[in-house]
Amino acid sequence: MPTPVLTIEQMRRWEQATWATGKSEQEVIEQVGACLARRVRELTRRGDRILILAGKGHNGDDARCARPHLTDREVVLVEVVDPATALAAVEGELSRQPALVVDGLFGIGLNRPLSESWVALITRVNQAGARVLAVDVPSGLDAEQGLPFGAAVEADLTLTLGAPKTGLLATAAAPFVGRLEVEPEIGLVPCSEHGVLEWVLPGDMRDWPPRRPVATHKGSYGHALLVAGSLGFHGAAVLAARGAQRARPGLITLLTGGRVYESVAAQLQAVMVRPTAGEVEYPENLTALLFGPGLVGPEAAGLLKSALVPAWRSLPVPVVVDASALDALNSRQAPPRDAIRVLTPHPGEAARMLRVTPAKVQQDRLGALRQLSAAHGDCWVVLKGHQTLIGRSEGPVRVNSSGNPGLAQGGSGDILAGYLTGLLAQPALQADPLRTLTAAVWRHGAAADRLAADRPNWISEELVEELARV
């Protein structure tokens, strides 16, 4: 199950519940040290120079406990109690260009502005340009609100312990947190705390999707219909179709603009491609429908007006709306009560739908998701971007943990729209839409992470191929 995103108070209660069982803080610190060392080893090579900056609190203890597990690295530990006194030592070590800096200066207990000497030391760490791994929270960052206490370490990776803290997910915190990873197994008792936001762990994808029974056929896995592509945007239709193929529904039909039909059909084999002349004919065995990728221009606008709104309001099958098709919906078009409806906006599209600025959406992404869902019949919303959110107007909202900035390129959203539609087309995967949508988003991001680890300049076409390996 995904792990809850916790406030500082909730994290403290979880820790106190652990100490009440007789487990000592030192046992947990030693386990954290081993986990931290394992991640350091993954980020570095034998013989690399590692600089550990350890404060006087438990974060410093966590960082110190990693050192004995790094015997094949050149580890330098700088104890930072008085920042003014330690600054010269820190500057000297940074000048030697360590392969990695481990930030263990402050933890979640920091609740006041930093002194000038602390600001100076943290600023020097940031100016060094070294790769930084922050332990639990970047030092100087308010783990509750996500704002710096005068200054905060700009980490490349934050390995937070037990569960994510609310402030680490704030948009304003992103430049300091870098990539956020969670180490859930640190020796605490099972967590009984709950939150609205739930962080998706890689382990949550185990045993999903369920194994396909032996005695099945393509009719068992649904028929996805994609309405996508127009002049100048035919590639979006192709990528959406290929994304749907990676989900492996039984059948896929793609309706595309007549002027791009030949270009699209020539690039697809197993997908049934048909031209549309301003109307949509639904197959009798239809099990999911996608509108949006590459639907641009007057011809597409007419199609959306005549077909999307009736489908959204009446079709019993899942309907996914993406890209420019989002602008064709309004709050008066309520879907059937139990129908699966999905919106997949990026922040700019969400802002247009809510008639606010993208900055406003980013300031309160959870609130934006809730508003969009409530305005469109309690539909599911996949609010894309850094740490994509999946949820609706009430209930839990999942926070995606996979993906990287490489996804910020044309085509990646088209692939995701097709992929999640292909999954929702399968009757067995419609019973739990939240899990299906969560899995689609996580696997899409995980494919991007695999590509980023292998090559720096991957493109969207390669993302489709990598989905096959996640």
Mean pLDDT for back-to-back runs of 10 residues, the chain (470 residues): 93 96 96 97 97 95 97 97 96 97 96 96 97 98 97 98 97 97 95 94 88 93 96 96 98 94 96 88 94 89 87 95 92 83 97 96 97 96 98 97 96 98 97 96 98 94 95
Q: Would you list the domain boundaries of the chain?
A: 24-194, 218-467
Looking at residue 330, its pLDDT comes to 80
Q: Which CATH number fits domain 24-194: 3.30.300.30, 3.10.450.30, 3.40.50.10260, 1.10.1200.120?
A: 3.40.50.10260
Looking at residue 312, its pLDDT comes to 94
Task: Please give the model's pTM, rounded to 2 decimal places.
Answer: 0.95
Which runs of consecutive H residues, i.e. helices, occur in 331-424?
347-354, 358-363, 365-375, 412-424
Distances (CA, A) of 302 to 221, 234, 342: 31, 17, 21
Q: Using an 8 Å Cβ cutoff, are 184 and 11 in contact?
A: no
User: What is residue 149's three-state secondary structure?
Assistant: coil
Looking at residue 451, its pLDDT comes to 97
Residue 71 CA to residue 66 CA, distance in Å, equals 10
User: What is residue 24's three-state secondary structure?
Assistant: coil
Backbone torsion region of residue 154, taken as left when φ is above 0, otherwise alpha when ψ lies between -120 and 50, otherwise beta: beta
CATH number of 218-467: 3.40.1190.20
Exposure letters 93-122 (e unless 16+ CB within 10 A, then b): bbeeebbbbbbbbbbbebeeebeeebbebb
CB contact set of 55 (below 8 Å; sequence gap of 6+): 80, 81, 104, 105, 106, 139
Q: Is the peptide bond before 209 cis (omega within 30 degrees of 0)?
A: yes
pLDDT tens sequence across 269-295:
999 999 987 788 899 899 999 999 999
Looking at residue 337, its pLDDT comes to 83
